[in-house]
């Protein structure tokens, strides 16, 4: 990720990261950027992993 990423760069990076790595959930501020733009919030491996552990 660039040092001073634009919102679009942050969204792209977090979308790619969340889909491929369960190390952490997407920050609320990043999720808000998707919501504010009317875009679907990307699936997150971290949330799937947490759900898998419960079942
Ligand atoms: Zn990660």
Let me know: does 22 contact 49? Beta carbons within 8 Å: yes
Q: Which of 32, 24, 46, 40 is nearest to 10 (CA)?
A: 32
Answer whether residue 54 shows pLDDT above 80. no
Find the 55 Cα to ligand 1 centroid distance in Å.
Answer: 23
pTM, full prediction: 0.85
| Interatomic CA distance for residues 19 and 36, integer angstroms | 20
18 CA → ligand 1 middle, Å: 7
Q: What is the pLDDT of residue 53?
A: 83
pLDDT at 52: 87
Query: What tens digit of pLDDT does each residue of 10-40 get?
Result: 999 999 999 999 999 999 999 999 999 999 9
Whole-number Å distance, alpha carbon 19 to ligand 1 midpoint, is: 9
Q: Is the pLDDT of residue 55 over 70?
A: no
How many Å apart are CA 49 and CA 33, to the nearest integer? 23
Cα–ligand 1 centroid distance for 39 (angstroms): 22
Residues with CB under 5 A from ligand 1 (ion): 21, 23
């Amino acid at each position: 990720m660039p040092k001073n990423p634009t919102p679009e760069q942050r969204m792209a990076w977090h979308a790619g990261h969340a889909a491929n790595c369960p190390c952490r959930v997407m920050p609320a501020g990043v999720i808000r950027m998707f919501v504010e733009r009317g875009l679907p919030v990307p699936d997150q491996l971290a949330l799937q992993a947490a759900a898998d552990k419960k079942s």
